[in-house]
Amino acid sequence: MLENIRNQFPILSRMVNDKPFVYLDSAATTQKPLSVIQSIESYYKELNSNVHRGVHSLSQWATDAYEQARTKVQSFIGAEHAHEIIFTKGTTEAINLVAEVFGRNYFTDKNEIIITVMEHHSNIVPWQLLAYKYGTVLKIVPINENGELEWAHYEQLFTKKTKIVVATHVSNVLGTINPIKKMIDFAHAHNVPFLVDGAQGIKSCKVDVRDLDCDFYCFSGHKMYAPMGIGVLYGKEKWLDALPPYQGGGDMIEKVSFEGTTFNKLPFKFEAGTPNVEGAIGLNAAIDFIVDCGLDALIEHENTLLKYAHKRLQEVDGLKIIGMAKEKAGVVSFLLKNQHPSDVGTLLDMIGVAVRTGHHCAQPLMDYLKISGTVRASFGVYNTFEDVDKLVAALQKANTMLGN
């Protein structure tokens, strides 16, 4: 079955530096199956038209396809209403949207935001901008030596000034799967809303937003086999109704005059301008691909590869894995002796193995760990035990080439 899945990803058949291509960078972006690629091609060949604005058939067909994607996302993440699904450019825009409009309505001087040390820059900088604007204070949850959140510290951070908690579902560096439902329950016990950065979690975990009871869940299509440039903000209806629009323009209005403007109903209030129709259609196809494969099977495959990688990487002399949480997704960050991660990554690329190197947009975490960066291998549905074996062989060769 796995070979049939690999055959659905055309890019995996190409050569890189005259070597068979081994792609181990799915945490940065997943490769796209043929069904997703074909869905985009089909849209431009058969449906290309602007949505929501035309009475002609092509526009109506395109609108139907776009809105079907919204309904598909609603079902995939267990949202109660389709209008709780807001299409964005990606996780980053979804978080910025919430930060901006939530800040306008609820932040005053010396309010507090609880955030974890393992956050991606996209879930740090928007809240820092609020801090500059409103005098808000960021309070940081630390981690232990395995890369797990310090729960007792988390509990102690809550005060009457806490306005929101923002946390990643899965760390893009450590692979740690946070106890997000437990965190949300504790926040709600203090009447504090919770935003989840689900960029990594959407592919590696079974997400049910009603079961989690999160107030906001943000993710990107390109992390889950869909195109770049499409993302989702899930928000509880009560919050989306209460918050003001993020941007002004077409589609988000009900009526405009020079005396004032009234705003459209959900979800259109938050979708100003021409949307990424092809991206939504591609996301629809990607969800179909995941469902056809079986999400449970994909998660189990990722976990099996992770365990195998942990075992094999211990055979590499001088290699240290960064992040060994008990609950972990298919991400392995590591250091190779005293070598700079970029040097290691460059050598691996020469051997045909694609990994990510650097601080992974998590510089505060790197500072906390007292390192400059890591080499990161991350897995997708198309990866195999052989890919891990090639990574290990390439690292052993790199050891020799680097003179260790």
pLDDT of residue 272: 87
| Same domain (yes/no): 255, 318 | no
Q: Which two tokens stand for residue 396?
A: 């052993």
Looking at residues 135-149, what average pLDDT do you find?
Answer: 96
| Same domain (yes/no): 56, 92 | yes
pLDDT of residue 349: 94
pLDDT of residue 404: 56
Query: pLDDT of 295-312, one tens digit each?
Result: 999 999 999 999 999 999
Pairing, β 260-263 against β 319-322: unpaired
pLDDT of residue 170: 98
Q: Which residue has the higher pLDDT, 109 or 95?
A: 95
| Same domain (yes/no): 94, 187 | yes
| Same domain (yes/no): 43, 139 | yes
pLDDT of residue 254: 72
pLDDT of residue 338: 87
| Same domain (yes/no): 25, 67 | no
pLDDT of residue 248: 83
Whether the Cβ atoms of residue 78 and residue 211 lie closer than 8 Å to each other: yes
Question: Which of 291, 317, 345 corresponds to the end of one domain?
Answer: 291
Query: What's the gap between Cα 239 and its chain centre?
Result: 22
Query: pLDDT of 96-108, one tens digit each?
Result: 999 999 988 888 8
Looking at residues 206-211, what average pLDDT do you find?
Answer: 98
Q: Which two tokens stand for residue 385?
A: 């035990």
* CA nearest to 214, candidates 194, 234, 243: 194
| Same domain (yes/no): 153, 55 | yes
The residue segments making up the domain with residue 263 are 37-291
Query: pTM for the complete prediction?
Result: 0.96
pLDDT over 70 at 1, yes or no: no
Domain count, the chain: 2
d(CA 309, CA 386) in angstroms, rounded, equals 10
Give the pLDDT band (50/70/90) at residue 281: very high
Query: pLDDT of 36-86, one tens digit each?
Result: 999 999 999 999 998 887 789 888 899 999 999 999 999 999 999 999 999
Q: Which CATH number fits the domain that encloses residue 41?
A: 3.40.640.10
| Same domain (yes/no): 107, 224 | yes
d(CA 321, CA 157) in angstroms, rounded, equals 30
Place of tokens 């950065």: 197
Query: pLDDT of 308-327, one tens digit each?
Result: 999 999 999 999 999 999 99
pLDDT of residue 153: 98
Amino acid at 274: T
Helices 277-293/34-42 angle, 10° precision? 150
Q: Which two tokens stand for residue 260?
A: 């004032």
Q: Which two tokens stand for residue 124?
A: 């740090």
Question: Which of 291, 316, 334 corresponds to the end of one domain?
Answer: 291
pLDDT of residue 2: 61
Residue 175 forms beta bridges with which residues?
none
Whether 361 is catalytic is yes
Q: Which CATH number fits the domain that encloses residue 383?
A: 3.90.1150.10
Whether the Cβ atoms of residue 28 and residue 16 lie closer than 8 Å to each other: no
pLDDT of residue 101: 94
| pLDDT winner (highest mean) among 4-8, 16-20, 111-115, 127-131 | 111-115
Question: Which of 245, 264, 291 corresponds to the end of one domain?
Answer: 291
| Same domain (yes/no): 311, 341 | yes
pLDDT of residue 3: 64
Rg (CA), the chain: 22
pLDDT over 90 at 25, yes or no: yes
Query: pLDDT of 244-280, one tens digit each?
Result: 899 888 777 777 778 777 777 889 899 988 999 999 9
Q: What is the mean pLDDT of the chain?
A: 94
88-123: burial string, b at 16+ Cβ within 10 Å, e else? bbbbbbbbbbbbbbbbeeebeeebbbbbbbbbbebb
| Same domain (yes/no): 139, 272 | yes
| Same domain (yes/no): 164, 241 | yes
- Is omega for the bond preceding 20 within 30 degrees of 0, making it cis? no
pLDDT of residue 110: 84
Query: pLDDT of 151-177, one tens digit each?
Result: 999 999 999 999 999 999 999 999 999
pLDDT of residue 92: 98
pLDDT over 90 at 88, yes or no: yes
| Same domain (yes/no): 136, 152 | yes
Catalytic residue among 214, 218, 293, 361: 361
| Same domain (yes/no): 210, 343 | no
